Each structure stands twice: as structure tokens, then as C-alpha cells.
Amino acid sequence: MKRYPVSLALFLAAAAFLAGCGKSAESTGTPAGNSPSPAMNRGTVGVSLLTLDNPFFKVIGDSLTAEAAKSGYEAVVLSADQDVGRQSNQVKDFIVKKVAAIVLSPCDSKGIVPVIQEANAAGIPVFTVDVPCNEPGVQIVTQVATDNFGGGKEAAKAMIEALAGRGGKIGVLDLKQVESCILRVKGFKEVIEAHNASAGAAKIEIVSELDGGGAKDKGYKVAEDMLQAFPDLVGLFAINDPSALGARGALEKAGKADKVVIIGFDGQPEGKQAIKDGKIYADPIQFPDQMGVEVVKAFLRYSKGDDLPPQMLIPTKLYRQADGAADPELK
């Protein structure tokens, strides 16, 4: 008889303890013994960018990673190092790992076709960012990019503005294997040709188009070659800031820094600084942070069954010396 009250007390205490645990688990929304955690990993987004040596693509990768994490996705961002073979192998690896989506800035819009087709066959949605792949036989959900054609037109307007009615011979540092750069040159030429239709003696003549590699060292060499072939050049249009900065180095070496106008493209920090310092006249600037965010938003919309347009273009903005002077991020 004496042990019954004790057993009953123990039973009641245990019941109260278990009830308390049950209430705690219910209030936190997690199983008993587990603490609340951030959003669970919903999958992986495989990203292969043209290069990560160029700060522009680094910004795309970083903003994409941050935006994906907000929705519980992990982004694996790799550099293709401008090598389509390397990029193809990276995509093959993404396919094997069954990623939720693949995001590419193709090194070679034609050469990357077979591996995109493999991703299509595996049912993995493919998105492109900055550099498109408009080749037949591939399925790209959407392309998130700068309006490169429009940006090229802005670059030509800046060239006309900088030459101030003088006209003369100019060169173009291009990158023909990258479709976004082809569009920039195409837009540039359209405005120059329209200008020349009524320019009379002030026509602007494109006398040389060479591959600047989108890099400072190659831009330097190509600009040197142009200056040797055409010592009376008055302007250079480079498809990005690294090649524009390389060209500036060649002009300084040749003693022609004040005689040849340079128009770049991108708006990277070093390019903006050069514009502020008067070394580059202007850039149509891009917004790579927006690109990274928008491509993730496009994937999330696609995942919900939304229809997306084939292209989602972000306009450029012309950045001149006055903009550099007012830019708090510059020296």
C-alpha cells in the first residue's frame, strides 16, 4: 500500500514531463530534440561561367549564389577558363549529379551545343546568363543578359560624341566567338553607318577589327598592331574593360594616349576609374549583380510552371567622366 502512491506520483510526473515535451515540439514546429534550422537544401544549381578572372563574372556568380541561398538552393559556381572543352566536362558532371538547373555563360556558343543537348535529354533546365546560345537544336529556358546590341549602339554614340565632328579611322577590338560581344559590335556598326550616311567629310571609318581576347594582355598587343598598320587612328572601341585597358597601355607606350579616343564596355571598377582619370572616354555599363539575381528568379518562376520569355534583357547606362567624378566608390 505504501508503494502505490509513490508509483502514481512517478506516473503523473512522467506524464507531465512528456506532455511538456510534446508542447515544446509543437510550439517550435520541429521534432522534439531538434533545434530550428535555416531553410532546408532544396537542391543544387550548377553554374559554369566563361571565366572568374574577370570581375564581371565573379559578381554574377556571387549574386547568383546569394539569391539562390534565399530559396534554399546551393549554387556551385565554376570557371570554364574560356575553354569550351572544360566547360563541357563541367556540364557533364552537373548532369551526373542531377542538379536542379544549369546556368551557363558559354565559352563558345556553337561548341557547347552537344552538352546542352545532353542536359536537355536528362530533363535538366538550362539557362544562359550574359552570353547566349541561340543555336538550333538546343532548349534554353531563357537568356538573362545585358541588352548588348543596345549597349553597342550607346558605345557608338559615345564615339561620335568624343570625336566631336572630326571623323577619321577607328579600330574595333572584338571577340567573335562570344555572341554577346558580336551583338555589341553589331549595334556599334549600325549607329556608325547611320551617322556616316549624313556625315559628309566627318565619316567614321572602321579600318580594322581584331580579336582582343577580352583580356588586357591581348588587347595591348592587338592595339599595338592596329597602331602600326594605321598610325592615324583616332578611336578604338573595345568590347570590354580589360581589352580597353590593354589598348590604353599600348597608346601610352606609343605616345598617342591623347590622340586616340577609347570606348570600352562593362563598367568594372578598374574601367570606371580609368574613365574618371580620362584614360577611357566612356563605357556602356552593365549590371552583373542584377543578372545573377534575375537568373535565379527565372529558375524559381520556371519551377512553379510559369512561362518565360526567351530573353530577359537589362539595359546599359552610358558612364562618362562626370559620372566617375560623382562615384563614391572610386578614388
**Domain 43-141, architecture per CATH:** 3-Layer(aba) Sandwich (3.40)
Quick one: pLDDT at residue 39?
52
User: What gap in Å lies between CA 178 and CA 175, rounded to an integer?
Assistant: 6
What stretch of H or E contains 297?
helix 288-303
User: What gap in Å lies between CA 274 and CA 327, rounded to an integer?
Assistant: 12
Residue 24 has pLDDT above 50, yes or no: no
Closest CA to 154 of 130, 180, 190: 190
* Residue range 148-285+320-325 in CATH 3.40.50.2300: yes
Q: Is 54 exposed, middle or buried (0-12, 13-18, 19+ CB in 10 A)?
A: buried
* 126-155 per-position pLDDT tens digit: 999 998 998 999 999 999 999 999 999 999
Nine cell digits for residue 179: 555572341
- Asked if 261 and 235 count as a contact pair (C-beta separation under 8 A), the reply is yes
The domain spans of the chain are 43-141, 148-285+320-325
Residue 19 has pLDDT above 90, yes or no: no
- Cell 578598374, residue? 270
Quick one: pLDDT at residue 180?
87
User: What gap in Å lies between CA 128 and CA 126, rounded to an integer?
Assistant: 7
Residue 28 has pLDDT above 90, yes or no: no
Proportion of the chain in helix, strand, coil states, percent, rounded to 5: 45, 20, 35
User: What gap in Å lies between CA 271 and CA 245, rounded to an integer?
Assistant: 7
What stretch of H or E contains 226?
helix 216-229
Residue 11 has pLDDT above 50, yes or no: no
DSSP per-residue string spanning 252-269: HHTT-TTTSEEE--B--H
User: What gap in Å lies between CA 288 and CA 146, rounded to an integer?
Assistant: 8
| Cα end-to-end span (Å), the chain | 89
* 207-234 per-position pLDDT tens digit: 999 999 999 999 999 999 999 999 999 9
User: For the residues 306-317, what does the mean pLDDT come to?
Assistant: 96
What stretch of H or E contains 60?
helix 55-70
With a CB cutoff of 8 Å and minimum separation 6, the contacts of 250 are 219, 220, 221, 223, 224, 227
User: What gap in Å lies between CA 245 and CA 231, rounded to an integer?
Assistant: 19
* 277-287 per-position pLDDT tens digit: 999 999 999 99
Q: What's the sign of the alpha-carbon dihedral 266, 271, 277, 278? A: negative
For the whole model, what pTM was predicted?
0.76
User: What gap in Å lies between CA 178 and CA 103, rounded to an integer?
Assistant: 16
